[in-house]
Chains A and B, each alone.
Chain A
Amino acid sequence: MITYAKFGMKAFTNQLSYRAEVWLRLLGNLIAILIQTEIWRAVLGSGRMDGISLEQMITYSILNTLLLTLLLHHISGQVDASLKSGSIAGELIRPLSYPLYLLSNGLGQAAYQLVFTVVPSLLIAVLWFGFLPPASGLHLLVFLFCLLLAVLLSFMLGYLVSLLAFWLMNHFSLSWIMSGLRLVFAGSFIPLWFFPDGWRTLAEWLPFQYLGFIPAAVYLGEITPAQMPGMLGIGLGWAVALIVLTSWLWHRAIRRLVVQGG
Chain B
Amino acid sequence: MAIIEVDGITKIYRQYKRFPGLAGAVRSLFTRQYTEETAVHNIRFSIEEGEAVGYLGPNGAGKSTMIKMMTGILVPTEGALRVMGNVPHLSRKTNARQLGVVFGQRSQLWWDLPVLDSFDLHRSIYKLGERQYRDNVELCTELLGLADFLDKPVRQLSLGQRMRVEIAMSLLHEPRVLFLDEPTIGLDIVAKDHIREFLRTVNREKKVTIILTTHDMKDIEAICPRILVVNKGNLVYDGTVASLRQTLGNEQQVTIDFRHDPGEVDVEGLTLIEDEGVRKTFLTSRGGTAVFELISRMAQRYPVEDVSLEGADIDSVIRRLYQQLAEEDKRKTQIS
The interface of chain A, by Cβ under 8 A from chain B, is 19-20, 23
- Chain B interface residue count, CB cutoff 8 Å, equals 3
The interface of chain B, by Cβ under 8 A from chain A, is 21-22, 25
Q: Which residue of B lies closest to A22 (CB)?
A: B22
Bound complex: CA A118 to CA B21 (Å): 20
Can you list 5 A-B contacts with CB-CB less than 8 angstroms, sorted by A residue number?
Answer: A19-B21, A19-B22, A20-B22, A20-B25, A23-B22
Bound complex: CA A23 to CA B25 (Å): 12
Bound complex: CA A51 to CA B25 (Å): 48
Bound complex: CA A19 to CA B21 (Å): 7
Q: Which residue of A lies closest to B21 (CB)?
A: A19
Which B residues are in CB contact (< 8 Å) with A20?
Answer: 22, 25
Q: Which residue of A lies closest to B25 (CB)?
A: A20
Which A residues are in CB contact (< 8 Å) with B22?
Answer: 19-20, 23
Which A residues are in CB contact (< 8 Å) with B25?
Answer: 20
Bound complex: CA A20 to CA B18 (Å): 14
Rounded to whole Å, the gap between the CB of B155 and the closest CB of chain A is: 15
Bound complex: CA A23 to CA B21 (Å): 11
Rounded to whole Å, the gap between the CB of A157 and the closest CB of chain B is: 32
Which B residues are in CB contact (< 8 Å) with A23?
Answer: 22
Bound complex: CA A20 to CA B21 (Å): 8
What 5 pairs across the A-B complex have the smallest Cβ distances? A19-B22, A19-B21, A20-B22, A23-B22, A20-B25
Bound complex: CA A23 to CA B22 (Å): 9
Which A residues are in CB contact (< 8 Å) with B21?
Answer: 19
Q: Which residue of B lies closest to A19 (CB)?
A: B22
Rounded to whole Å, the gap between the CB of A216 and the closest CB of chain B is: 31
Bound complex: CA A195 to CA B284 (Å): 93
Rounded to whole Å, the gap between the CB of A20 and the closest CB of chain B is: 6
Rounded to whole Å, the gap between the CB of B229 and the closest CB of chain A is: 38
Bound complex: CA A23 to CA B26 (Å): 13
Bound complex: CA A19 to CA B24 (Å): 11
Q: Which residue of A lies closest to B22 (CB)?
A: A19
Bound complex: CA A224 to CA B22 (Å): 45
Rounded to whole Å, the gap between the CB of B100 and the closest CB of chain A is: 33
Bound complex: CA A216 to CA B89 (Å): 61
Which B residues are in CB contact (< 8 Å) with A19?
Answer: 21-22
Rounded to whole Å, the gap between the CB of A116 and the closest CB of chain B is: 12
Bound complex: CA A23 to CA B23 (Å): 12
Bound complex: CA A20 to CA B26 (Å): 11
Bound complex: CA A20 to CA B25 (Å): 9
Q: Which residue of A lies closest to B23 (CB)?
A: A19
Q: Which residue of A lies closest to B24 (CB)?
A: A19
Rounded to whole Å, the gap between the CB of B25 and the closest CB of chain A is: 7
Rounded to whole Å, the gap between the CB of A215 and the closest CB of chain B is: 31
Rounded to whole Å, the gap between the CB of A27 and the closest CB of chain B is: 12
Rounded to whole Å, the gap between the CB of B116 and the closest CB of chain A is: 27
Rounded to whole Å, the gap between the CB of B147 and the closest CB of chain A is: 33
